[in-house]
Amino acid sequence: MDLTGKVALVTGSSRGIGAGIIRGLAAHGAICVVNYVADAAGRNLADAQSVAHDSGAGLVVEADVSNHARVGAAMEEITARLGGIDILVNNAGILRDRTIRKMTPDDFHAVVQVNLGGAFNTLQHATSLLRPGGRIVNIASVAGFMGFFGQANYASAKAGLVALTKVAAREFARQRITVNCVAPGFVETEIIKEMPAEVTARFLEQIPLGRIGRIEDVVNAVCFLCAPQSDYVTGQTIHVNGGFYM
Ligand code: NAP
Q: Is 93 inside any structural domain?
A: yes
Tell me which of 11, 14, 17 to substitute to probe ligand 1's pocket, judged by most ligand atoms within 8 Å of the beta carbon.
Answer: 17
Which atom of ligand 1 lies at the shortest distance from residue 95's CA? 34
Q: Is 112 inside a domain boundary? A: yes
CA 182, 185, 189, 194 torsion-angle sign:
positive
Residue 104 lies in a domain: yes
Mean pLDDT of the chain: 96
Q: What is the DSSP string of 153-189?
A: HHHHHHHHHHHHHHHHHHHHGGGT-EEEEEEE-SB-S
Answer yes or no: 36 catalytic: no
165 belongs to a structural domain: yes
Is 34 domain-assigned?
Answer: yes
pLDDT tens digits, residue range 97-135? 999 999 999 999 999 999 999 999 999 999 999 999 999
Residue 37 lies in a domain: yes
Domain extent for 172: 7-188+215-236
Residue pLDDT, tens place only, 207-232? 999 999 999 999 999 999 999 999 99
Pocket lined around ligand 1, Cβ cut-off 6 Å:
11-12, 14-18, 35-37, 44, 64-66, 91-94, 114, 139, 141, 184, 186-187, 189-192
In ligand 1, which atom is closest to the CA atom of 187? 40
For residue 200, what pLDDT is reported? 84
Give the model confidence (pLDDT) of 10-66 as tens digits. Answer: 999 999 999 999 999 999 999 999 999 999 999 999 999 999 999 988 899 999 999
Q: Which of 36, 154, 232, 245 is catalytic?
A: 154
Question: pTM above 0.95?
Answer: yes
202 part of a folded domain: no
CATH of the domain at 25: 3.40.50.720
Is 22 within a domain? yes
Q: How many domains is the chain partitioned into structurally?
A: 1
92 burial class (0-12, 13-18, 19+ CB within 10 angstroms)? buried
Beta carbons of 18 and 41 less than 8 angstroms apart: no
